[in-house]
């Protein structure tokens, strides 16, 4: 029992809070956690999270792989620290902005910018609650923006979560695009065109009527931003709720749905099997069509080779 007196934080989180107790004896340290994290972030910025291996980070700093473990207890910790570093503090200028809507908008925009600069952040799986200092600062500032509203504490947190989530989702979809762009060297317009072409070939009007209509309406070629629209709707929804509160409306109960309590795995299996039947029928149909096309092509080929047959 070394009695560290700190609650057992997830190791990486503890490091992020600066709970480290630098050693007294021994040779001078040549590296530092910060240098390691910076090197890792640079690697990830350049070539994605996959490029971050302990060996690569160490090499970038001119050391051997194992040396990093004197500063970071495991790779997972390093990733938490990278996240923390890239997250940074929310822009202080937000405090000068008037109106909760505008503040939320600016915070949202700032989050998207971060994700665009560090797309690898979106590849990090959400692991419980990485309650690190910087992420706490973002939550704090978002909550502060909402203090002028009549929302209660829980509702404010719910809004915070919603904004963060929307930004995360936005970033993920956008980053998907930019990753494809970097891998294939296509411009966004080219990617869009290609996707549209793919959709065009795959979405049959029988199986996906509504989606087909959307494709025909050219939604996948549009350059308007669906996420901005979504964010506006979210703000509207919050405003409507606030108005209703002001008009003496009752607060939302916000109770968890009963359905979600027990994930009935057995039922799911049965369900998936039933679906498989449907899928198989559909596949059979597609196969039939495909075979027909293939047969036609073969016939044509043979005819071309042996015109007299």
In the complex, what is the shortest distance from the CB of residue 14 to DNA, in angstroms, rounded to a whole number? 16
Among 51, 137, 193, 245, binds a copy of itself (CB under 8 A): 137
- Contact between 27 and a copy of itself per CB under 8 A: no
Taking contact as CB under 8 A, which single stretch among the options 51-59, 66-74, 75-83, 112-120 is the one that binds a copy of itself?
112-120
Which residues, 12 to 51, sit near DNA by CB under 7 A?
23-31
**Contact assessment for residue 81 and residue 33, using Cβ atoms and an 8 Å cutoff:** yes
**Cα distances (Å, whole numbers) of residue 301 to 166, 262, 288, 304, 305:** 53, 57, 20, 5, 6
Q: How far is residue 17's CA from residue 229's CA, in Å, rounded to a whole number?
A: 37
Listed in sequence order, the residues at least 6 apart from 233 whose beta carbon sits closer than 8 Å to its beta carbon are none
Q: Which of 5, 11, 142, 140 is nearest to 81 (CA)?
A: 11
Binding mask 70-109 for DNA (x = CB under 7 A): xx--xxx---------------------------------
Q: What is the DSSP string of 167-221?
A: HHHHHHHHHHHHHHHHHH---HHHHHHHHHHHHHHH--TTT-HHHHHHHHTTTTT
Q: Record the tokens describing residue 219, joined without a space.
A: 């939604």
- Contact between 212 and DNA per CB under 7 A: no
Listed in sequence order, the residues at least 6 apart from 3 whose beta carbon sits closer than 8 Å to its beta carbon are none
Residue 36 vs 167, nearer CB to DNA: 36
Binding mask 236-255 for a copy of itself (x = CB under 8 A): xxxxxx----------xxxx
Q: How far is residue 209's CA from residue 17's CA, in Å, rounded to a whole number?
A: 53
Chain centroid to CA 196: how far? 23
- Contact between 179 and a copy of itself per CB under 8 A: yes
In the complex, what is the shortest distance from the CB of residue 43 to DNA, in angstroms, rounded to a whole number? 10
In the complex, what is the shortest distance from the CB of residue 309 to a copy of itself, in angstroms, rounded to a whole number? 21
Q: Record the tokens describing residue 126, joined without a space.
A: 């959400």
- Contact between 51 and a copy of itself per CB under 8 A: no
How many Cβ atoms sit within 10 Å of the Cβ of residue 52? 22
Among 1, 2, 206, 224, binds a copy of itself (CB under 8 A): 224
Binding mask 250-289 for a copy of itself (x = CB under 8 A): --xxxxxx-xx--x-x--x--xx--xx-xx--xx--xx--
Q: Is the dihedral of CA 77, 80, 86, 90 positive or negative?
A: negative
Taking contact as CB under 8 A, which single stretch among the options 54-62, 72-80, 96-104, 207-215 is the one that binds a copy of itself?
207-215
Q: Which does 63 bind (CB under 5 to 8 A by kind): a copy of itself, DNA, none?
A: DNA
Q: Which does 287 bind (CB under 5 to 8 A by kind): DNA, a copy of itself, none?
A: a copy of itself
Among 20, 64, 204, 292, binds DNA (CB under 7 A): 64
What region does 170 belong to: left with phi over 0, alpha with psi -120 to 50, or beta? alpha
Site residues (vs DNA, CB under 7 A) = 23-31, 52-56, 58, 63-67, 69-71, 74-76
């Amino acid at each position: 029992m070394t009695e560290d007196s700190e609650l057992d934080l997830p190791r990486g989180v503890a490091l992020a809070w600066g709970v480290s107790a630098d050693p007294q004896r021994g040779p001078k340290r040549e590296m530092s956690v910060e240098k390691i994290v910076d090197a890792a972030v640079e690697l990830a910025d350049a070539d994605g999270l996959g490029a971050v291996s302990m060996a690569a980070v160490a090499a970038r700093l001119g050391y051997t792989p194992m040396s990093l473990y004197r500063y970071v207890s495991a790779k997972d910790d390093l990733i938490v620290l990278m996240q923390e570093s890239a997250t940074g503090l929310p822009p202080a200028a937000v405090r000068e902005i008037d109106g909760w809507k505008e503040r939320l908008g600016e915070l949202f925009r700032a989050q998207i910018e971060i994700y665009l600069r560090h797309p690898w952040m979106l590849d990090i799986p959400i692991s419980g609650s990485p309650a690190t200092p910087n992420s706490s600062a973002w939550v704090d500032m978002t909550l502060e923006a909402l203090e002028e509203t009549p929302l209660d504490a829980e509702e404010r947190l719910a809004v915070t979560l919603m904004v963060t989530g929307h930004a995360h989702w936005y970033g993920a979809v956008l980053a998907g695009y930019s990753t494809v762009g970097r891998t294939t060297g296509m411009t966004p317009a080219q990617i869009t065109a290609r996707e549209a072409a793919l959709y065009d070939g795959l979405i049959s009007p029988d199986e996906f009527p509504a989606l087909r209509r959307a494709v025909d309406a050219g939604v996948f070629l549009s350059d308007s931003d669906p996420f901005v629209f979504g964010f506006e709707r979210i703000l509207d929804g919050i405003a409507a709720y606030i108005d209703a509160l002001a008009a003496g409306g009752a607060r939302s109960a916000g109770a968890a749905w009963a359905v979600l309590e027990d994930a009935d795995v057995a039922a799911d299996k049965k369900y998936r099997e039933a679906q498989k039947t449907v899928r198989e029928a559909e596949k059979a149909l597609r196969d039939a069509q495909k075979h027909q096309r293939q047969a036609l092509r073969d016939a044509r080929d043979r005819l071309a080779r042996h015109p007299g047959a």
